[in-house]
Chains A and B, each alone.
Chain A
Amino acid sequence: MPNMKASLQRTLWISRVTFLEAVRQRFFAFLLVLSAAMVLSSVSFRVFDFGHGELKFIADFGFGGMFFFGSVLAVVMTAQLFFSEMDNKTALTLLAKPLSRTEFLLGKFCGAWAVLGVFVIVLASLLGLVLWAREAELIALAEQSGKIPATFSAAGLAEFVLLQWLRLGVVTAIVLAISALARTFLFAVVVGSLAVVAGQLQWIAQDAVLKPSDSLLYEGFLWVSCRLIPNLQQFNIGDALVLGSAGVAPGAVAEVALSGLLYVTAYLCVGSLVFRRREI
């Protein structure tokens, strides 16, 4: 038990410094400001809207910012945090101490994931604020015209934030596993980005599995795709959760969250195994 505690403490120290390093990066600040501007500007862009639900149009800017900039941040920042340690040789200093490589990798993950948590929470808070303000206006207008006003669910937004954070956690774990294998930052970023796209489109294979096929080769390909590539699309149920556009089955959010945690653990295991063999 004392060993476990000491190990957790070392992991925590690595993640703390990783977090401090990441939040000081201009890249993080740039993406955060860009995403925040995108959410705030959604109110002005309403004039270009073609009859969508108005709250949906605003929410989509927030969802888009979280998805797009969050993914960019998860891929580029994680790879950068890992390779800055390798290229600057700070990893040499740290790994020569009684710090295992698994603890190092886990610390990097926790630090990067914490930064992504800040990113998602800041963006979701802004989005919630904009939605709340516009919802109040729409309710007042609806009362005058006797129509049913459009509303959004703050609890649904909180659930969506959790799911997005988990999705970015899965991306971070994948990028760390790739970085542990990669020799260059560029390779890690390119392969990491491709992994995100593959993960977002994995549901095509998962849907196809449900349909019968005569080809064993095709079925084998689908099986491998479904098992090895994470399904990142399952986290994108923002419309249903926040705007109630479609129903969400009871317990579905918990199932997706558990799936995300399983993916995170699995990819961190792979990353740790790869990193243990890496020569620093």
Chain B
Amino acid sequence: MSSAISVRHLTKDFRIGIRGLKLRAVDDLSLEIPRGQVYGLLGPNGCGKSTTLKIVLGLVSATAGEISILGHPSATSAARRRTGFLPEAPYFHKFLTGRELVRYCAQLSGVAADSVGAAVEDALGLAAMTEAADRPIGTYSKGMLQRIGFAQAVVHDPELVILDEPTAGVDPVGSAAIGRMIHTMRDKGKTIVLCSHLLGQVEQVCDRVAIMDRGKLVLEGAVDDVLARRDRHVMTVEAMTPAARDAAEAALAAHGAKVTSVTHPRRSLEDLFRELVTGSRDA
């Protein structure tokens, strides 16, 4: 089976100014994104990740290289029909209601007329936007905009969903909701490509990651593989007394192991925030 996205030797140069100075945004990038996984594309601002996604979607032309989506050449109608996209900081026509927007996108995506209604309701349900679906988009909060953007991206049941900074500017509760949507999609066997520079979130939701810097790929692999330090271990111990600690250190030393640090485990601030304000959904 072909990869969800296959990028081979992709290069993109932008011409700047009247003299046409060349700025290389993507430099000989090769990537294989497998199907059925959540794939994180990471990197600092301006590293070329959004440009790469735009080239994949056919919104920007490549200077060199080949790209295919689900076995089809990118930028073709067949490839786009099976792809959903949520752009960074999405903006939609304010006068449409959420339901009208999702219906409009379903129709543009080629959903059959007799199944548009069900597809729209499914997508709204997945994005937890059913209750607010009849309000004009102009009244939505930032988190709701992201969620309705997610709904329009998945309304035609695509095999591949590309999310560009889906949680930028969204509070942790909204971020968690989007994380849940991503997991739901993965559970349905979809491939999700997540482009973000919020490392904590990527770590939580992604199966694989690629890190880009200055247009080049610097690291690629499964999250567990790239983050794990095989020469270090962490044990979490309950009710440890000083005597127990001394005994444990002595026992480890007898086997040539050395305890380098002992600390109390910490919750992340994000976990604490979500625990405290849980249920305060911004609908």
Contact = CB atoms under 8 A, between A and B. Distances in A.
Direct contact of A and B (CB under 8 A): yes
Given A96-B80, A97-B105, A280-B59, A89 B90 contact: yes
Contact of A96 (B78, B83, B104, B110): B83
Contacts of A21: 93, 95
A98 B59 contact: no
Interface in A1-35: 6, 9-10, 13-14, 17, 20-21, 24
Given A97-B105, A280-B59, A92 B87 contact: yes
A275 B105 CA distance: 21
B96 interface: yes
Nearest to B86: A93
Contact of A89 (B58, B89, B110): B89
Interface in B13-69: 54, 57-61
Interface in A73-103: 88-90, 92-100
B111 to A, nearest CB: 11
A20 B95 contact: yes
Contact of B87 (A24, A93, A99, A279): A93
Interface residues of A, number: 24
Nearest to A13: B107
A92 B86 CA distance: 9
Category for how many chain B residues contact A: 20 to 34
B95 A24 contact: yes
Contacts of B105: 93, 97
Given A280-B59, A280-B60, A90 B92 contact: yes
B19 to A, nearest CB: 16
Interface-central residue, A92, A94, A96, A280, by most chain B CB under 10 Å: A96
B85 A96 contact: yes
A90 B83 CA distance: 17
A14 B95 CA distance: 15
Q: Is the interface of A mostly helix, strand, loop or mixed?
A: helix
Interface string B73-88: 0000110110101110
Interface string A95-123: 11111100000000000000000000000
Contacts of B95: 20-21, 24
Contacts of A279: 54, 59-61
B87 A89 contact: yes
A6 B81 CA distance: 13
Given A279-B60, A280-B60, A97 B80 contact: yes
Contacts of A280: 54, 59-60
B273 interface: no
A278 B10 CA distance: 19
Contacts of B61: 277, 279
B108 A99 contact: yes
Interface in B130-171: 149, 152, 162
Interface in B86-133: 86-87, 89-93, 95-96, 104-105, 107-110
7 contacts: A10-B108, A92-B85, A93-B86, A95-B57, A96-B80, A279-B61, A280-B59
Q: What 5 A-B pairs have minimum CB-CB distances, sorted nearest first?
A: A96-B85, A88-B91, A280-B59, A92-B87, A98-B80
